[in-house]
Chains A and B, each alone.
Chain A
Amino acid sequence: MNTQRVGEVIEASTTDFVAQCYELYQSPPLGSLVKTADSPLELYGIVYHATTTSLEPGRRPIARGKDEASEEAIYQSSPQLLKLLRSEFSALVVGHREGDRLYHYLPPKPARIHGFVYLCSPDEVKEFSQSFDFLNILINTHLPVSVEELVAASLRQMSQVYEDSHTFLVAAGKELAVLVSQFNQLKAILGRIKE
């Protein structure tokens, strides 16, 4: 299958999982749909947060570029940096697959540590976004990013796989109009997803 492996689960809970990227700065875009297998289930998540930090929590990177000509040159002259830093991303669990069936609600168990995380293929994204039930999960969770940003980002990502992205976004917008009780919040989301 044409899926791209983007990382490995290093922390998991019922509602979300954190994965570390294999390459520094290679985390999938905000709002993209990822999946991880936990046989016989496949968990789907939406990327809601990404960080790049020092490998050791107590040791912060220091500025190194004073005598360098370009940013790129810093990494070239200190190749160990790529190993001392790491990129992680967090995904909110929004559904799972069991056999042929897709469920837009939480799986019975969280993801497994060291489970591989893949970016979903356009076909999978299309299949998953046939139902907008996942929006409800996005709206009702407390996250470090604002709900408006996350919802808008995920819809923008998903709309890219559709030829007629306008129709998809209108349909999603209508669903949101029903789900979001505050008009200001709705307006903020709609403002972020219109083309």
Chain B
Amino acid sequence: MSQQLGIVVSGSLNKGVEVRLDSTASVEDMAVGRYVTIEGERRRFFGMITDVSLGVIDQQLTQTPPDVSDPFMAEVLAGTSTYGTLHVSPYLTIGGDVANLLEGPQPVKTIPRHFSAVNLASDQDIELVFGKEDKERFWIGNPLDMETKLCLSMENLVERSSGVFGKSGTGKTFFTRQLLIGMLQKGKAVNLIFDMHNEYGWEGRSEEGRKVKALKQLFQEKVAVFTLDEENSRRRGVSTDFVVRIGYDEIEPEDMVLLRQTLNLTEPAVEAVYQMRRHFGKNWLQSTIDLKDSDESKELLDELHIHESTYQNLQRGLATIRRLPFLVPHSPDNPVGRILEYLERGINVVLEFGRYDDVTAYILVANLLTRRIHAQYRERVERAMGEDTAPPHPLVITIEEAHKFLNPGVANQTIFGTIAREMRKYSVTLLVIDQRPSGIDEEVMSQIGTKITFLLDNERDIDSVLAGVSGKSELKSVLAKLASKQQALIFGHAVPMPVTFQPREYGSAESYKAFIPGGEAELRQQTEKDIEELWK
């Protein structure tokens, strides 16, 4: 039930409104991040509590505090001479007339008038703003301190790139798994997941060490697990669909640029890679490795103006790559083709890295595959536009440790930077998961549509996540006060207004039941029933 908290006493559109608490409402019951509704004269406003403070009528009270051990004194002063105030940022408004009601909540362009009543938002209010669970919306959790289901439109989510941020151990992986299930369940996009730590395909582990089911176990038909490390997958009892092998000839100089830091390559060494590519063609990697310490090689290096030390540096780097067991001189199969084939059938692909969870392998493979897949997608979308046929399924590529791909040094060169910037034009978007958002290029960050952030405590990380958001300082205080686990703030493209929430439970038998499509069938039945009711 809604409960009056207080009245609006001052405010501005930019800074939000000040609400004076009624004497019946205790400051201690308030919490930043909670939802309130403000009943204006002609419209209702939805807002979030972003700060709570104390006020006194007479400054003397603070200098010579009254004797609060006297209950009578305390009772009289509460809410009169001393009072609590809330700072509320209004985000949405809904007009009172019919046309406005049909339009639904709109972004605020004004603020409520003086002394408008402020109530805690009810379940119906939340439903009005975020919608009900249906075939487009997926239940992701509950708003803070509320029982209502918070639903997220999966269609909106996949329209733009999205990001899940938070310190390690805050629940990013668990939540990402749910988001992926959501996309899968609602069938709004196919996913390609670069699963660095083997957590999304078959099963993952909770912090307590309990095993939790992942995508393949829940959606046998709709998920394919690819692996780079067959042996490791077999040992973990995962049935894999395809073993990925990558040929040397598939590695491009652009891949080396990305690996510059991890391989410790110098700038000239990276330049040398391009020269080698020009000289040797597609097979440059094998040919460069094969260069012997002979006079011919020396001549070649002189010809290409590559310094001896640069050459040595490059060779050392290439040796590291060569040691990756999934790299073979010639790939027997075409992994990109296979991935695309699955994606085209609407089957989600999880690529497990097995034991090769070091950054070099991850960056190399993710970048290499994504570049080709993106190119293919681009071609298909362009063809579909030209021939006026249906475009391919929207594709969401999930990457972890995103700052390695998207840091300011390389964001311009990697395919992930391009995808983040080009956005949905080619139906490919990213789902980035990262614990150091400050390491991600600003430009890329600004293109991420929906951001879900768990607790962050580094000032720079917080700033980079909130960059460009209106009401940044207010959200900052909300973000800083999140619990260290299982609480997140979501804002951006897919939600009408920011909201802090507690992700849905994941890991128990009941929770799986709620996720698998049986639930969907029930939903459909319910809808049909509702329609029948309507016509009665």
Where the two chains meet, the residues of A that have a C-beta atom closer than 8 Å to any C-beta of B are: 166, 169-170, 173-174, 176-178, 181-184, 186-187, 190, 194-195
Contact = CB atoms under 8 A, between A and B. Distances in A.
* Residue of A166, A177, A195 most packed against chain B (CB within 10 A): A177
Contacts of A187: 66, 73
B206 interface: no
Given A174-B23, A183-B58, A187-B66, A169 B81 contact: no
B60 interface: yes
Contacts of A178: 57, 80
A163 to B, nearest CB: 17
Interface string B77-98: 1011100000000000000000
B80 A177 contact: yes
B382 interface: no
B73 A177 contact: no
A82 to B, nearest CB: 43
Given A178-B80, A186-B81, A187-B66, A170 B75 contact: yes
A183 B80 contact: no
B57 A190 contact: no
B60 A177 contact: no
Contact of B76 (A173, A182, A184, A195): A173
Nearest to A174: B80
Contacts of A169: 72
Contacts of A186: 81
Query: For the side of the interface on B, what is the size category?
Result: 10 to 19
Nearest to B63: A183
B359 interface: no
Given A181-B58, A183-B58, A183-B61, A194 B70 contact: yes
Nearest to A191: B73
Contacts of B70: 194
A93 to B, nearest CB: 27
A181 B61 CA distance: 11
A191 to B, nearest CB: 8
10 contacts: A173-B72, A177-B80, A183-B58, A183-B60, A183-B61, A183-B66, A187-B66, A187-B73, A194-B70, A195-B72
Nearest to A189: B76
A183 B57 CA distance: 9
Given A181-B58, A182-B58, A184-B60, A190 B80 contact: no
A160 B72 CA distance: 17
Contacts of A173: 72, 75-76, 80
Contacts of B79: 174
Given A166-B72, A176-B76, A183-B58, 4 more contacts: A174-B23, A182-B60, A190-B76, A194-B72
Contact of B77 (A177, A184, A194, A195): A177
B72 A177 contact: no
* Residue of B23, B76, B79, B81 most packed against chain A (CB within 10 A): B76
A155 B404 CA distance: 73
A183 to B, nearest CB: 4
Contacts of B66: 183, 187
Nearest to B59: A183
Contacts of B60: 182-184
A170 B58 contact: no
A190 B72 contact: yes
B72 A183 contact: no
Nearest to A170: B75
B71 to A, nearest CB: 9
* Residue of B60, B70, B81 most packed against chain A (CB within 10 A): B81
A178 B76 CA distance: 10
B57 A177 contact: yes
Contacts of A177: 57, 76-77, 80-81
A187 B61 CA distance: 10
A172 to B, nearest CB: 9
A183 B67 CA distance: 12
Given A177-B81, A187-B66, A170 B76 contact: yes
A183 B65 CA distance: 10
Contacts of A170: 72, 75-76
